[in-house]
Amino acid sequence: MTLTVAIQMDPIERLRVAGDTGFALMLEAQARGHTLFTYTPDKLSMREGKVTAPIRPVTVRDVEGDHFSAGAEERTDLSTLDVVLLRQDPPFDMAYVSTTHMLERIHPKTLVVNDPFHVRNAPEKIFVTHFPELMPPTLITRDKAEIEAFRDEFGEIVMKPLYGHGGATVFKTSKTDPNFGSLYDLFANLFREPWVVQAYIKEISEGDKRIILIDGKAAGAVNRVPAVGDLRANMVRGGAARPTDLSKQELAICEAIGPALRERGLLLVGIDVIHGKLTEINVTAPTGVRAIKKLGGPDLAAQLWDVIEGKVGKGK
């Protein structure tokens, strides 16, 4: 089966391909004979219910700095394609939300991965709160008194923006931290939305495990260890990737959330687990696929395309 596949993504020219999950998916799709196109989300248009974008055909190769060739753009009705991969990076803002409303018009006739309706309704740091029994103590608020009471209860806490990504603007503070007032003011000026406040897990120094689930099933994992002197384990923030296996507790977490992911058409999901506690469920453009394979783990791009091909095949 040969599929026509468009990838909604940030400009392909800017990709750092060595660690990019979307690029891994493109390489695997091309190896299977599928026809690839790309477009950027700002080029989406909708008129009288028809969703179009100026897509351009691409071929890709795993060479940093020389990773693609592209043809001419042609504005195309996206409902005529087989698959659209939703792969632009957050922030999860109103521009992002608007694309999900438009892509919802073509799904599931054109399979959008992940389902745009549920991407919109499952932001990573809120969707995870459906499973409080799996999480560390967590507060979502921008009310200073609530944060101070939470800090008094747990001593050390982590604060991060509700719609942040990639470990940006993540802070640890404590009961006696004289910088708390300034930190609160900084957040209040930078962000209009509430913040996520969590009890600090000291075992973060041992790593923040990224587990990839495909169609609701645990498929592979990488342990991300923070750099010395940094709280954040994200690889874009200097975290080191280490091979890992899944514990019984981590497998139980995956089994607990798997049905909810499948019900929502969230085919590719990355969860973050610190010392057996679930902290995020990433559904927008989860990463980690290339790191897992590089460290000797399974080929998750191939697994995902097996699932996609099966779903498109059933729909035809």
Let me know if 50 is a catalytic residue.
Answer: no
Name the helix (H) or strand (E) containing 315: helix 300-315
Which of 115, 280, 290, 309 is catalytic? The answer is 280
Distance CA 122, CA 127 (A): 5
10 given a catalytic annotation: no
Q: Residue 226: how many CB atoms within 10 A of its CB?
A: 20
Token pair belonging to 305? 């395309």
Is the bond preceding 114 in cis, omega lying within 30 degrees of 0? yes
> What amino acid is encoded at 108 in this protein?
P
Q: List Cα–Cα distances, 173 to 105, 154, 189, 218, in angstroms.
A: 44, 11, 18, 33
CA distance 65 to 76: 28
Q: Give yes or no: 217 in active site.
A: no
* Sheet arrangement for strand 195-199: 138-141, 195-199, 156-161, 171-174
**Residue 43 DSSP code:** G
Annotation says 142 is catalytic: no
CA distance 36 to 55: 9
Of 151, 160, 264, 277, catalytic: 160
Q: Which of 232, 264, 277, 290 is catalytic?
A: 232
Task: List the catalytic residue out of 209, 210, 264, 290.
Answer: 210
Annotation says 209 is catalytic: no
Cα 199–266–85 angle (5° rounding)? 115
Is 272 catalytic? The answer is yes
Helix, coil or strand: residue 311? helix
Residue of 114, 223, 234, 282 marked catalytic: 282
Rounded-to-integer distance, Cα 156 and Cα 151, Å: 6
Q: The tokens of 28 are what?
A: 């695997």
CA distance 3 to 107: 16
If 0-12 CB within 10 Å is exposed, 13-18 middle and 19+ buried, where does residue 133 land?
exposed
Catalytic residues: 125, 160, 210, 224, 232, 272, 280, 282
